[in-house]
Structure formats: structure tokens, C-alpha cells
A and B are shown apart, each in its own frame.
Chain A
């Protein structure tokens, strides 16, 4: 079993839809949770960064962490064609160097 599971998609939605992206994990020691966005033929860029449980909002993006269920989510409101990319969840334990990534979900937002 992988430490981090993420549905690879692809996920196709119409412009303006609310998008929900999710990851599950097995290691209860993870404390730092991240979402990266990766456009085609580019490196991943950090989108959201949260510590422990709870919600974090940044513009149209909301990250949620539920440590009791070992489940994290990224919500995108009013999705735009420019949001079309691969979204990678990532997590790391306190004091650890290694960041573990999900396989990524490909998102297509149709105009």
C-alpha cells in the first residue's frame, strides 16, 4: 500500500464549477500537508501549505485536513480554464526531510 493515495483522474469539469480533489494517507506521523499545481512540462509550484488539522483559504482555493480520517482535500471555487493542470498532494512528518507525494490528479476545466 502506498503511503499517499490520490486518484489520477482525469477530472473534467465546466468552467465555474466547484472542484474537489482528495488524498488519503496511512502514516499518522504526517503533520505538514501541501498541494502543488503542475502545468504541462513545468515543475510543481506550491499552492497551499497547512500544518496539522483544519482549513486554510487562499482566494478561490481551500485546503482541508482531517487527521482523524487521514484525509486531505483541496477545493477550487469558480474554476477557470487556467486551473487546468495536475494537482499533487504532498505531506511530511515533523523533523523529517522527505516529502511524500501523491501521484497527482489531472484536472481539465472546459470553457
Chain B
């Protein structure tokens, strides 16, 4: 089974702190994604990566950056955390688009609270 592991289940940070959210997948997937999930708004795509060192903006990239130095690892960075970034953050991975391995698999999520 695909396993997507997020480093923290819960995080509490202060406004202005730099925050790192880490995600690792063990299925050699090409694509990795960061979503945030808020009540009533569903899942919104922040950034995605289709290859090592490659990144693309999603629908809500403002205030975030990402890093993908290795195929299995995709990091989300909040340069200066703000209270409106309090949310559930979900990492996901998938295989090559257009193949049978392109289904999206999620980690358990990181609930981030910014005070």
C-alpha cells in the first residue's frame, strides 16, 4: 500500500514564525501535492511538484513556498506564519499522469494552529 507520512499531526506556532511541514512518500511517485482543508471550503491546492526540484503554484500559493530536493520528500514552508494560515494541511502523492498509477493518496494531515 502507498504510504504518505506527514511529520507532525498537530503543530502550534506563533505569528511570524517560519514553519516547515514535511511529507514523505514510499511509492516512488512522481507527483506530490500540498492542500489545505478548511470547513465549508473543502480542499484547496497550494503547490504541487511533478519532479525533483520542479514546482508549480496551485490555487492559493500566497504566503507559502515548497521544496522538493528528493523524489520522496516534499516540504511546505510558511515563511512568516499568520493566523489565517491556521488550517489542516494535507500532503498527497500520485504516479505518472495518464497511467493507472495516477490516483491521489493522502497523508493523515497536520493540524496547524497559528496564535
Contact = CB atoms under 8 A, between A and B. Distances in A.
A41 B42 contact: no
Interface string B43-61: 1010010100000101000
Interface residues of B, number: 24
A46 interface: yes
A43 B103 contact: no
Nearest to B48: A97
A46 B41 CA distance: 19
A34 B104 CA distance: 9
A42 B98 CA distance: 28
Interface string A76-87: 000000000000
A42 B97 contact: no
B105 interface: yes
A18 B53 CA distance: 47
Interface size class of A (residues with CB under 8 A): 20 to 34
Contact of A34 (B98, B103, B107): B103
A41 B111 contact: yes
B42 A101 contact: yes
Contacts, number: 49
Main secondary structure of the interface of A (DSSP, over half): loop
Contacts of A94: 98
Interface string B78-102: 0000000000001010000110001
Contacts of B102: 32
Contacts of A41: 109, 111
A19 B71 CA distance: 40
A49 B48 contact: no
B106 interface: yes
Interface of A: 6, 8, 32, 34, 36, 41-46, 49, 88, 90, 94-99, 101-104
Given A42-B108, A97-B56, 10 more contacts: A41-B111, A43-B108, A44-B90, A44-B106, A95-B98, A97-B50, A101-B42, A101-B43, A102-B42, A103-B40
Closest 5 CB pairs of A and B: A43-B106, A103-B42, A101-B43, A43-B108, A43-B109
